[in-house]
Structure 1
Amino acid sequence: MRLPVFPIGLLPPLPAAVLVAALLAHRLPELPPRWVSAVLLAAGLLALSAARGRRSRLGLGVPPGVGAPGGGSPAAVPRREAILALVRFVALLLAAGAWTMLRAGQSLELRIAPDQEGVDFVVRGHVAGMPQAFERGERFLFRIERCVGPSAGPASVDCPEGRDVRLAWYRHFGQAGKVEDGERTGGPRRQPGPQPGERWQLTVRLKRPHGLLNPGAFDSELRALEEGIAATGYVRASRDPAWPNRRLAGRSWRPGPAIEAARTVLRDAILAALAGERADAAGVVAALSIGDQAAIPGAWWETFNRTGVGHLMSISGLHITMLAGMAGGLARRALRHPRIGRPALLERCPADRLKWAFALAAAFFYSALAGWGIPAQRTCWMLAVAGLALLGGRSQSLARVLALSAAVVTVLDPWAPLSAGFWLSFASVSAIVWYGSQETRQPRPDPGRPVLAQARAKLVAVLTDALRTQWAATLSLLPLGALFFSSFSLVGPLANAFAIPLVSIVITPLALLGTALLLPVPPVGGLVLGAVCTATGWLLDALVPLAEPRLAIAVLSAPGWPATTVAALAIAALLAPFRVPGRPAAFAALLPLFAQADSGPAPGSLVVTALDVGQGAAILVETPSGRLLFDTGPRYGGESEAGARVLVPWLRSRGIERLEAVVVSHADDDHAGGSASVLAGMRVDWVASPLPDDHPAVAPAAERYRCWRGDRWRWGEVAFEFLHPGPERTTAQKSSTNATSCVLRVESPAGAVLLTGDIEAAQERFLVEKLEPRWLRADLLVAPHHGSNGSSSMPFLRAVSPTLAIVQAGYRNRFGHPGDKARVRYEAAGAALMRTDRDGAISVTLRGPGQAPQVTRLRQDDRRYWRVRVDAP
């Protein structure tokens, strides 16, 4: 019996095995022991070597008609080639997967241990990154060299030496009498902030790099692993005068800190030179010059995203590729000069190689100046691999060049395939090259034509090429935009049409020129940067009206892999450089991207989702007839808050762009901090709260109501009623605003939910005494005041009698929520207690009497090896 052979043409290029292997390894909930990965790596490499040697001994690839060595028939050659190709692919898949697991294991070992959390270490080390200012201080990367002085923890706790940690140092460094995150500072006077390369002695308190975890949201724990961040923490005031926080003599001259020090000097010089210019435009110039994205005011990022130009406002692959292309063009022109491009030089090293070397040197230098971020690294390696492959003549296929580039990037950075930027870069480059390979009619030089007519023809040709490139890039990013960002900018093609040439050809090159001249010739550099800042201001002014309309973006729910695959094939057909029968019909294959929408809960069910927003509250209640958001999460500091960072992206990822109601329970920032972003980013019918109409949290709403006991409404079979506040006045121990917190009860045939805000024991006692037990009874209770010991009293829990309870609290929060006493009371009441700090986002679907609720806890149910495991009680 003759067995069929896998068709070799169906296999992707061999380097693609590296990409596939990394994606498979990153699906693991836990990593295997290191020895297992080492054995798999050795086995894969041996099998790959044996397959390549076998291919050589069999004489595969000999001219047609020549028999294979050993008397084999020529007909057997394709069969052997197919088998060996499959073996090579599987062997490389095995080796690459093992390599990914080994690298991941090494990075995980750098993280601090749980017993090192919450311990005060007196450490010495150096500042490894450029500090970033925020509302209350600065954040910076710090390399711990060793521990000195007394430790506040047990003697058995090891020092986290040799680790990179990200620290926050609150303002008034060393200034007596000031408070830093609840701690009194300990120095006699203020010291200047830390600078890259400086060595410091600091008292620090650390925790593992635990981040917010919500579906489809940015995974900060993955980014920390990729960047080698072992812990996050903050600088504390010294408890021992003998070990103060102080700057030490000497500095680190390692390449990383030295480059960061140069970037800091340039950043300060740029901002000083532009002190009299528009602050927002000056921030963009700093971001494009040295990669300081924090210099751009946070409010502008929503404008950039709505207009589809966000990729231009940071040093991305587009800028690096553009600069490399310009450098290569300058090198080519220089080599034409007889004093530079001498025959002796060009005989030793051809002009094409010199041009590519100069272009790559410019790319790597610019990326280093920009902070050598992960996207910049990927672009540099992509350019290097593509250049070597093309110059070496080893690959003539675009697919093979891209696969080889992706493989090299993945070997150097195994987490790159999990990044949206990785796929966006490859998709846009592939589409532009694929579409650009069509033959286009170029204007032929005609000496008889007028000069003006020739110039006009060249201009038309250039504009046509630009439009073709923009069309290919825009179309190629449509499915990825839906997949990663759940939106597509409808005005993006128009905005990019003028923003790309202005930023790429004018603003960025001149900004780099001005920066280069700023230190040696400050007046000239300042003049150039001032002109760049003016042009940047014009660009920002032009983007504002485009971002205003509600129709600026289309909200798309994240598509599944079938819709994404079909859309990718359709785009390949639309951009194909050859004739495709029925090409316009391929547009129909894009419709599933726009047709997908979150339909809401099934009839008769009720879905409650408690998002992981840290130390704050944000709960979405979904019924078959409408959605209500109860609280909008906290403000994290500066312009960062939960509305823009968590709520709006998550809602858009599900295709939700309208909320029927928003309730802001009270004025505290941990409940109302994200309201402005929610009201700006979503269509909201009305808002209810105890706040005055002019309060910033509710002022932007079209309709505003006061939550008041007895106010009720219905959406289909679901009834809503406010139970608190009322005309009576009660007091609260923690905050006066807690006493006026809204309490909302939701009742449906599927079950009842009680949302309590931040009421405390006094308000709970009042509700128990004032209301009949049936008005408090609920299947699901969102714990009052984040589960503090001063709430969740036993009489209240008996009255509510919940089966499930959810606490929304931050990881290792300074309030100790949920409190030990409160946890004991919930256990005694028979309620299963879930926590967002331990479980991530929590979703509960109530399905009616006799049916157990369906509970999803993201950190537990979607395990990944890099996610911090929280063993909280």
Structure 2
Amino acid sequence: MLSDRGIAAFLFFLLFSLLLIANAVFAFLLLAAAVPALFVPKLRQRAILFLFIAVSILTSFSARTLQKRHLARLTGTPVTATGILHDLRFEDRFTSGTLLFATLKNYSGKRLTLPRTLQFTVSGNSPGLSSLLPGFSVTITGKLRKHRVYKNTGTDRTWFYLSRHRLFSVSVPDERMIKGTPTFLSRVLNKLNPFNIRVSPLNRRILRGMIAGDRNALPDAFVDKVRDLGIYHLFVVSGFHFGILFSAAYLLLLLLPVRPRTRKWAALALVTLMLPVTAFSPSGLRAWLMIFIFLLFRAREIAVSPADAVGMAGLLLLIWNPYQVADPGFLLSFLVAGAIVTAIASTDRWWQAWLKIPVLAFLAASPVLFLFFHRLTPISILVNLSVTPLVIVIFYLFFLTAIGLPLAPILDRAVSILVTVTDRVSPHTLTVWAPLPLIVLLFAATGLALLVHNKRRGFGILAAVLSISLAVSLAWRPAVNALRVPDTGQSQAILLQTHGKNYLFDTAGEWEGRLALVPWLQAIGIRRIDAVFLSHFDSDHAGGLADVADNFPVGKVYAPYLDGHSFTFNRDFSALARNDIPLILLSRLKTPEFRLPGIRLTVLHPNHAIRGKSRTNARSLVIRVKTDTTSILFPGDLDGEELAGLLHGLSHADILLAPHHGSRHAAIPGLEKTVSPRLVIICCGRHNRFHFPSTAFLGLFPKTPVLTTAAHGEITIKLKTNKGE
């Protein structure tokens, strides 16, 4: 028996990989500390093994880092990629897909990288691609792109994109530049087609998500609900599904006259077919490696504990890609699996294990949920207890239906019951935020719980630390008086925090709001938005309102007009109605000045709250906000003649948010003298196609400090109060 050495080694090298990515100096110091052990005879063998694993992880990390830098230099150049098609997703404005084992080449045919997972996108609707099936050998030609990574606290996802091979993608200009040919794998998948069964369309989509890991098949509303309930792992392929599939394949092979050892390896071979279907997900690889390690050690007559099998599987995946320590899916998969196999004893009865598993999974997942998602769902324990048996029944029913038994009506009914249960349960999600030391302590308690020999005591310690962290998180209300401007690319969002209130001015674009603004607000501990002010309903200013309204309690929303012809307005208005948030119109003549807790607002533009026939920029809401000691001017996208005509109504402001992202149309002579700001802030994206900010606008403020999100990332300006803070 390896006696927990596998899980201990995994936890140690998990920390080693994290230090290596965060700051390689600490990892090298840790590596150097093991060198003296080489000269101690009793420790020499272990030290050699330790150094071998560390050097392997270091080599993999160096190779991937050099590959990233090499591809970054090639961004924007034409490339050709060839690989196995995993999936295609048809969106409203584009089509995207994933290639497995893709090789990148330039036009001269020189290979640029080793085989890798690669994303690609095609602009517009692409009906001609519907003939491509998973398993096809596909060749695409386009430009290499680097994913936009926002420079914000808590939302820098460079490591995550590297772990999922999503930092780089290929942009294909036309669907005719994508060629596909059938392969043996595609023919096998097409012949099998286990989803051609008589169930309702909705239930078929859910089955595709559960069995094949096709997350795009699941309805968006259903995905949001099961995520809030903490049971999303049951509806996408995970180690849980691989275990059920292995047991089902083993039971089926009992009908054949083969030796037990051969039967186990044959069942593993059938499970192996699921790996490319799931795009080699961390949870799938972990489950497959666990089964493989068990069978290999048993064949060699070496006893291995389940915890050590989890640890050794994690070590192999870390050696393959150290960046996976930044993937929440990787951490959740191994921490939860390690907790379950560590604490479940062979003497436990089935009902004891059934009661333990959801509690252990919740405890082990809590540090990752704190760090990455800033939310906990305690009710997930009860939901998992009730839903998991039904999911197991659905799996076996599907397996029996796929081999020809007439059980489709029963399967359809079982999936319908599952949908009904998840639809009627309210999630009651807790939004949590805790200081980094508490999160580190929570991770340390998780590691201790996995290592101590008295498992009840170890997980008792973890439960106590989680309770303390949760209490601190729910009671923590950091008093902040600041103007914070997140990096949301070529869009705009500004957060004003004063007197314990949070006021949001614009909500960035649709994708920027979802990928940058909402995670950033959660990362800095925002639980409520007291008011949202929209300058106008262009997508780069109001596109993220729907996601903000769906993720945070919002007091009121203020806007200058209604625009039923705008897609952004209709999407935002639906979100406000869905969350019962009032929308209030502002204008200079109707609401020239009003107060909210901690601030006084003066409306300078527009005169009337109507859309009119003018440009949306010309109808922008211009407001002057006065805190205890600081005045801030928010001009939205007002520019040109409208901005020039408003100069006579402007006055001094300490901070100026650049109108229209600092465009040349906003470079109105006299603006600098009229406002005379002490600081100018410009929201714009790095290397944006509009070339914002313009040299003409920057020339207006030769002696005034100018900060841009393109150059500085997130910008934070601390504000003083009357108390002199």
- TM-score class, shorter: 0.7 to 0.9
Amino acid at match of 2:224: E
Select which of 544, 563, 578 maps to 1:674: 544
Q: Distance in 1 between matches of 2:223 and 2:714?
A: 25
**Cα contact 1:126–1:200 (8 A) shared by 2:** yes
Change (3 A) 1:173 1:583: closer
State which drifts further: 673-682 or 818-827.
818-827
Structure 2 CA distance, aligned partners of 1:230 and 1:677? 23
Aligned to 1:485: 373
SS in 2 for 1:809: coil
Q: Aligned runs of 1:836-855 on 2, under 5 Å?
A: 836=710, 838-847=711-720
CA distance in 2, matches of 1:609, 1:394: 58
Match of 2:18 in 1: 23
Q: 1:223 to 1:251 in 2, by over 3 A?
A: farther
CA drift at 1:410: 0.8
C-alpha distance 340-382 of structure 1, shift in aligned 2 (>3 A): closer
Q: Counterparts of 1:799 and 1:390 in 2: how far apart (Å)?
A: 81
Query: Which structure 2 residues correspond to residues 697-846 of structure 1 after superposition, within 5 A?
Result: 697-698=572-573, 699-700=576-577, 701-709=580-588, 710-716=592-598, 718-727=599-608, 736-749=615-628, 751-771=630-650, 773-774=651-652, 777-779=653-655, 781-814=656-689, 816-822=690-696, 824-825=698-699, 828=702, 830-836=704-710, 838-846=711-719
Q: Which of 465, 468, 472 is equivalent to 2:356?
A: 468
Q: Secondary structure at the match of 2:268?
A: helix
Q: CA RMSD in A?
A: 4.5
Q: 1:384 aligns with which of 292, 308, 311?
A: 292
- Deviation (angstroms), 1:97: 5.2
- CA 1:744 to 1:89, structure 2 compared with 1: closer, same or farther past 3 Å? farther
- 2:442–2:462 contact (8 Å) kept in structure 1: no
Change (3 A) 1:389 1:574: closer
Unpaired runs of 5+ residues, structure 1, are: 1-8, 61-80, 150-156, 175-189, 238-243, 342-350, 443-461, 518-523, 637-641, 854-873
Contact 1:633 1:672 in 2 (8 A): yes
State how far apart, in whole Å, the 1-side matches of 2:301 and 2:372 are: 35
- In the alignment, the residues of structure 1 paired with residue 112 and residue 54 of structure 2 have an alpha-carbon distance, to the nearest angstrom, of 34
The 2-side partners of 1:265 and 1:832 are apart by 63
TM-superposed deviation, 1:650: 3.4
Q: Does the residue aligned with 2:664 lie in a helix, a strand or coil?
A: coil
Relative to structure 1, is the Cα distance of residues 805 and 501 closer, same or farther in structure 2, using a 3 angstrom cutoff? farther
Deviations 1:279-311 (A, max 9, x none): 4x3322212232211122223222112111111
Q: Distance in 2 between matches of 1:318 and 1:847?
A: 53
Q: Structure 2 residue aligned with 1:421, among 329, 335, 340?
A: 329
Cα pair 2:433 2:473 within 8 Å, conserved: yes
Alignment of 1:555 onto 2:431: yes
Q: Does structure 1 retain, via aligned residues, the 8 Å contact 2:7–2:310?
A: no
Query: Are residues 226 and 569 of structure 1, via their aligned partners in 2, closer, same or farther at CA, if it must alter by over 3 Å?
Result: closer
Do the aligned partners of 2:208 and 2:214 also contact (CA within 8 Å) in 1? yes
Name the counterpart of 1:167.
120
Shift of residue 542, structure 1, vs aligned partner: 1.7
Q: Could you tell me which residue of structure 1 aligns to residue 556 of structure 2?
A: 686
Residue 276 of structure 2: SS of its match in structure 1? helix
Contact 2:339–2:450 (8 Å) recurs in 1: no
> Which secondary structure does the structure 2 equivalent of 1:422 belong to?
helix
Give, in whole Å, the separation in 2 of the partners of 1:125 and 1:396: 40
1:494 aligned to 378, 382, 395, which one?
A: 382
SS in structure 2 at match of 1:627? strand
Shift of the 494–264 alpha-carbon distance from structure 1 to 2, 3 Å rule, reads: farther
The equivalent residue for 1:102 is: 62
Residues 1:324 and 2:246 aligned together: yes
Q: Kindly state the Cα deviation for residue 12 of structure 1 after the two structures are TM-superposed.
A: 9.0
Q: In the alignment, residue 432 of structure 2 is paired with which amino acid?
A: L
- Counterpart code for 1:499: V
> Letter of the aligned partner of 1:843 in structure 2?
T
Deviation at 1:396, TM superposition (A): 5.4
**Structure 1 residues 573 and 246, CA gap change in structure 2 (3 angstroms):** closer
> For residues 302 and 649 of structure 1, do their structure 2 counterparts lie closer, same or farther at Cα, with a shift above 3 Å needed?
farther
Percent identical across equivalent pairs? 22
Please list, as runs of the form range in 1=range in 2, the aligned pairs for 1:203-282 lying within 5 A after superposition: 204-217=142-155, 219=157, 221-228=158-165, 231-236=168-173, 245=176, 251=181, 259=185, 270=195, 277-279=200-202, 281-282=203-204
SS in 1 for 2:22: coil
Q: Who wins on radius of gyration, i.e. which is larger?
A: 1
Question: Which of 495, 510, 520 is the equivalent residue of 1:620?
Answer: 495
- Unpaired stretches in structure 2, ≥5 consecutive residues: none
5 Å matches for 1:256-405?
259=185, 270=195, 277-279=200-202, 281-328=203-250, 333=254, 339-341=257-259, 351=260, 353-354=261-262, 356-385=264-293, 387-389=295-297, 392=300, 400-405=308-313
Contact kept? 2:442, 2:465, Cα under 8 Å: no
Cα 1:843–1:802 change in 2 (3 A) is same
C-alpha deviations, 1:32-65, integer Å up to 9, x for none?
9xxxx9xx99x989969x93xx66xx5x5xxxxx
> Counterparts of 2:459 and 2:191 in 1: how far apart (Å)?
58
Amino acid at match of 2:369: G
User: Which amino acid counterpart does residue 553 of structure 2 have in structure 1?
Assistant: R
User: In the aligned structure 2, how far is the partner of 1:173 from the partner of 1:758?
Assistant: 34
2:421 paired residue among 521, 542, 546: 542
Superposed displacement of residue 145, structure 1: 6.1
| Cα 1:798/1:626, change in 2 over 3 Å | same
Query: Matched residues in 1 for 2:430 and 2:14: separation?
Result: 31
Matched, 1:111 2:64: no
Are the counterparts in 1 of residues 80 and 105 from structure 2 also a CA contact under 8 Å?
A: yes
Q: C-alpha displacement at 1:427, in angstroms?
A: 2.3
| Alpha-carbon shift at residue 706 of structure 1 (Å) | 1.4
Separation of aligned partners in 2, 1:295 and 1:322: 21
Cα pair 1:435 1:577 within 8 Å, conserved:
no
Q: Tell whether the 8 Å contact from 2:6 to 2:309 is kept in structure 1 after alignment.
A: no
Indicate conservation of the 8 Å contact 2:502/2:529, yes or no.
yes
For 1:706, the aligned partner's letter is L
| 2: CA distance, partners of 1:752 / 1:627 | 16
Equivalent residue letter for 1:831: P
Note closer, same or farther for the CA distance 1:329–1:493 as it changes in structure 2 (3 Å cut).
same
Deviates more, 1:223-232 or 1:699-708: 223-232
Distance 1:663 1:233, change over 3 A: farther
Of 361-370 and 391-400, the range deviating more from structure 2: 391-400
AA in 2 matched with 1:102: S
Contact 1:289 1:512 in 2 (8 A): no
After superposition, what is the alpha-carbon deviation per residue over 1:852-871, rounded to whole angstroms, capped at 9, x for unaligned? x9xxxxxxxxxxxxxxxxxx
Query: 2: CA distance between counterparts of 1:629 and 1:796?
Result: 25
Return the letter of the residue paired with 1:593. L
Distance change >3 Å, CA 492–CA 194, structure 1 → 2: same
Quote the Cα distance in structure 1 between the aligned partners of 2:709 and 2:455: 56
Listed as ranges, the matches of 1:70-219 within 5 Å are 81=43, 84=44, 91-92=51-52, 95-96=55-56, 98-113=58-73, 116-117=75-76, 121=78, 125=82, 128-141=85-98, 166-171=119-124, 173=126, 197=136, 202=141, 204-217=142-155, 219=157
